[in-house]
A and B are shown apart, each in its own frame.
Chain A
Amino acid sequence: MPPPRTREGRGPWDRPRAPSPEAAPEKWNWNCPETRRLFEDAFFGDEDYIRQGSEECQKFWTFFERLQRFQNLKTTRKEEKDARQPKHSHPALADLPRAYDPRYRINLSVLGPDARDSRGPGRRLPPERASEFRQALLHYLDFCQKQAFGRLAKLQRERAALPIAQYGHHILQMLKEHQVVVVAGDTGCGKSTQVPQYLLAAGCSHVACTQPRRIACISLAKRVGFESLSQYGSQVGYQIRFESTRSAATKIVFLTVGLLLRQMQREPSLPQYQVLIVDEVHERHLHNDFLLGVLQRQLPQRPDLKVVLMSATINISLFSSYFGNAPVVQVPGRLFPITVVYQPQEAEPTTSKSEKLDPRPFLRVLEAIDNKYPPEERGDLLVFLSGMAEISAVLEPAQAYASHTQRWVVLPLHSALSVADQDKVFDVAPPGVRKCILSTNIAETSVTIDGIRFVVDSGKVKEMSYDPQAKLQRLQEFWISQASAEQRKGRAGRTGPGVCFRLYAESDYDAFAPYPVPEIRRVALDALVLQMKSMSVGDPRTFPFIEPPPPTSLETAILYLRDQGALDSSEALTPIGSLLAQLPVDVVIGKMLILGSMFHLAEPVLTIAAALSVQTPFTRSAQSNPECAATRRPLESDQGDPFTLLNVFNTWVQVKSERGRNSRKWCRHRGIEEHRLYEMANLRRQFKELLEDHGLLAGAQAPQPGDSYSRLQRRRERQALYELKRRHEEGVGRKRKVLRVQDDQDGWSSDEDRGGSASRGAGDSVDIQDVKFKLRHNLEQLHAAASSAQALTRDQMALLKLVLGRGLYPQLAVPDPFNSSRKDSDQIFHTQTKQGVVLHPTCVFTNSPEVLHAQEQAARGSDGSRDDRDKMSSKHQLVTFVSLLETNKPYLVNCVRIPALQSLLLFSRSLDTNGDCSRLVADGWLELQLADTESAVRLLAASLRLRAHWESALDRQLAHQARRRLEDEEEEEEEAPVNHKEVAALSRELLQFMTSKVSYSLRRLTGLEAQNLYVGPQTITAAPSLPGLFGNSTPSPHPTKGGYAVTDFLTYNCLTSDADLYSDCLRTFWTCPHCGLHMPLTPLERIAHENTCPEAPQGGPPGAEEAAPEPPQKASALQKPYHCEACQKDFLFTPTEILRHRRQHV
């Protein structure tokens, strides 16, 4: 109630209650800042209950003003009061004050300043005013007490009213008697928040509670901390990938499943816990399923460890029977009745493969609600759609409808939204208006929104499914399961009776699978297998999973890990594999990190690895916004997306380290979701620590600011930041805002969007993310790293690409030869397993596809054909990519362009040649035809040597790392694992190799060609004597391909060729420039001789000369005299020309 104004309103100086004889001669003004300061000095000192200048102090004055107005109202009645005093027997009643005064109802007292310190500032206050002030303070403190107690009581009432409250005792009892107990209850029964507290109350002190999602760890820790009244204590903590609030006093910790598994990796028996709660087991996440498997095996070794499995009421018997018929405590959900309305969509005329979702059925529901339910009856609508595209298909028409009727606020909800936008679904709609939330299945279990009365269920979900053959992630649309349908329906009945509209027929529902497909049957299992190997749980094929994965997925994963070098041929972890198992990242990204640190490229590689491990920071809206696109352009790198991300991150760090610049704004202008950059920074730091831990990176000490002054300065800054953070946390508990109905077009928004700091508390204008960032990271160090990365030399850049290329290998695609004559938007690519893939729209090459074309080359007959097919060029490129994502098309995501020939020579798992090595086939699908045999052989030889070099350096690095871990910190000051000079030499050689210019053609073999690639096993087994060419290995006949296996990847002379040539025919007379040897030799033999020629100058690797820019088409250098037997003529021919010539005679 607004207090009515009395008197002149402004001057509460005249307190009418008891006009004192010595009333102030002048006007007393409580509003005068000096007056207030005087009292604050006296009462709100550093030691006092309320401190000067605090938020509390402001609250007090507000209260004070209200109290004064209130007392002005009441005084008149006051005087007539008198007391009767009947005698009472009980002594407690005997001395009750006769005359009522509200202050007798207050159970505390405040000492006046004079009572505490006679010399203090209180001396100068008029006693009358001081006592008035004290009374007000008393009332204020009483008010605060009542308020806080009210919250406490409410909290307990709510807890007691939860369905699970009736079962707490029972659960504890069960847990006494059994090792494993299953608690099954639907969302809203309170199991996730209450069971941990029952355990706490029962005296358990080492409780871990796993959650599938990081967000849940944080929010549950907060909630449970709050409810168990240790919100600001430390009994309840959480631990997630980047943060931990755990301390010695922590009794219960919420952590992710992944983290618990890592703890088990170190100590399988989990000695640090007494009770383990595994929440949301019904979601059947990969890690959760695996955890259950490990637990099942581990429990006999830890009979004292208690396990609580918490599940929705889905398939409970599965979990119970997996743990030897563990008892089940089933808690009924608290659901109000829900009416189900089936509204199957009549078979719509399939409009052009129905690319876009028809929004009409959804609009009809909105209309139906408007017609049937008066707007005063509150209740919001939650619409489940299969994916983001479907959400946007409905969003627009729904918003149009909303702005027409003014009765709806339409909000999207999916995981790619910014956090702030996601939060909007929790805001409230103004009276008479309903929220309509268009959501993916994120709202099925992860996000709980109150106040939903209507649910529309499309019956569809898009899920990543994994094709192990193609190693391809597909986002596909499926019918949901009955369990999901029930879950969705249930969202309508949490706050009152509800209605669920199912946009499918009841018969469809009956045909749904009972449960969703567990993740283990849908996704790639590389990471899981790697983890299983590192935890030594035995052969993944025989591991007793609660439900086993498809055998093909397991086999693919094992094969993949062998391909990637993480497992050896006996499927044991290799050194690199065991390192990879400890890096919580994708295998390819882990490899990048390891390779990068070897070449002293750790800083940029750390950033890139982090960037590739989080969701893209580029917001979708910005794609359609040309302004965003333009401001972003300078950050783009035409080398590839990871480099763009590197630029974005580095520039962002730059912006952050410049005083007074607002990184939030900077990001917004460029259509960048800043939150992702914070995640990158966190991840980057974690990677760095991992590399340091594993001795791959010298733990560079932060360059301490030298003098004590700057240290002090720095400490002060940090203190200020802590203070900011603390104050922010005080004011946390985001208040719900009222949404605005859209006026017209600009969609929905909360007041927050416009008012900015005006509508929020002053303390809230702080960018808390920025504060946390600056507290967590050493900005100076980051900044230094960023600037060094920005100053990457061309060589470093090339090396970086090599590192990425090797890490990502074999994820690469070849541009279609006709791309150069295609429209920019029609560029297509082929991978080994998949033809006709396209660049993801976010990819930097979509704007400049020409950088991927082999722009060449007048030299070879300009026969008018404008395609790259068979085109000779030294600049063919491949696109290596981080992932292949299939939605409506197969997309290459996060691409880098790399030189084709050199990369294939360095990375291919299988490299096959013809007799003179002018024709190479990489991994059985890419054919390279080199113009010149001699340079082909040289390049091949150089690549062999480089690979061996690189491999041994890497092996030693990893072995060193493994040894270091064994010996532990025995010797801190060890020399670098692989010596600096060696790495420098290797880098130099690699760079020279990469820049070598050789003309060649590149094409993808057709299926038929690929089938008939090899000559097959040969009866003649005379090995070619090519000493030195292929190192010291003695080639042996290849059992299946034919030809000779030179190394584990290189097979010489196994390719069939139409002009079935014997290498002998290519012998020509040749004189060694070093020793003067003169005899007919094949090019191969020549190289072999040169490599071993005793007179040859040692040192410079033969491949190096190749690096000298050398125009491959220059005739003279390569032409040799040639005598043709067929036509009896002498020519001056290059080896290729010889081939061509000979072909005429066939």
Chain B
Amino acid sequence: MTDSNQGTLPFKPKSKLFEGIGSGIIRVSAFTALIGIFLIFVFIFKEAIPIFTSEAVQETASLDKMVFKQEFREGRDPLWSWAPNSRQPKFSLMPLVLGSIKAAVIAMLFAVPLAVGAAIYSSEFASKRWREFIKPIIEILAGIPSVVLGFFALIVMATVFREVFGFTYRLNAFVAGVALGLAVIPIVFTVAEDAMTSIPQSLRQAALAVGANKWQVSMTMVLPAALPGIAAGVVLGFGRAIGETMIVLMASGNAPLTTASLFDSIRTMSATIASEMGEVVVGSTHYNVLFFIGTLLFIFTFIINLGGDLILRRIKERIQGKVT
């Protein structure tokens, strides 16, 4: 049977013009963002260039001097020292890099188990109602301004920890790391939880149907399948931990030490820039070095975020079956 109305609906030909304009706008905004990032990098790096070109700057702040131990006085042991304002300025980056790494590692050790555990609970075990309660609350943590977290760490956590653990320094890497962890938890949680909930229900059923219990389904099927996503969350969280400034500025004690102890004060790269950039003489060696630190931070976080993103893309493809 044929319909006498066939082909009579008033379809409109699609406008090529609007399609062109639309995709044009999207392309321009994408490029603007890219150019923006590129320009930021250029402007930061520009101020760090004298480190590579100017002999006056290199006298105190050559790459070699920033990386390796220096002998500042005859007969004394060589050491890493960040003391930009002393009579004999010292620009070793090691205390700052070490401080950043210490704080970030403590933050991750604290945040990852909690965040992943919470994600497993929320995705696999919580009732629907509980889940709708937990998820927003953890995600609200992400919205707390870091200055508030820093303030909390400085006033409350530092005091409590000192009472409990008897720290020599009230403000130290441990306090800063745990506070930093609070900022990292929601990032890891959100990405990990999404990775787990995106595992299709049919796979859980298949696992149950061969006699797995709920715990086994979570641990031997969901968790391995979501692992790349969880790893991406961890990487993104690490990026945040390295770059975060306010919390460490307030809670770390800000002493550029190079001790192995996790309970000594530290100073991070980010906090150094934040606290010294305001007073530095523009164009001085110190100024150039601060920008060099900024460049390093930029590169670190860029690479970390890029890595996290690549992993995330891989997991999506894998779950859709494109990649072996």
Are A and B bound to each other? no
The interface of chain A, by Cβ under 8 A from chain B, is none
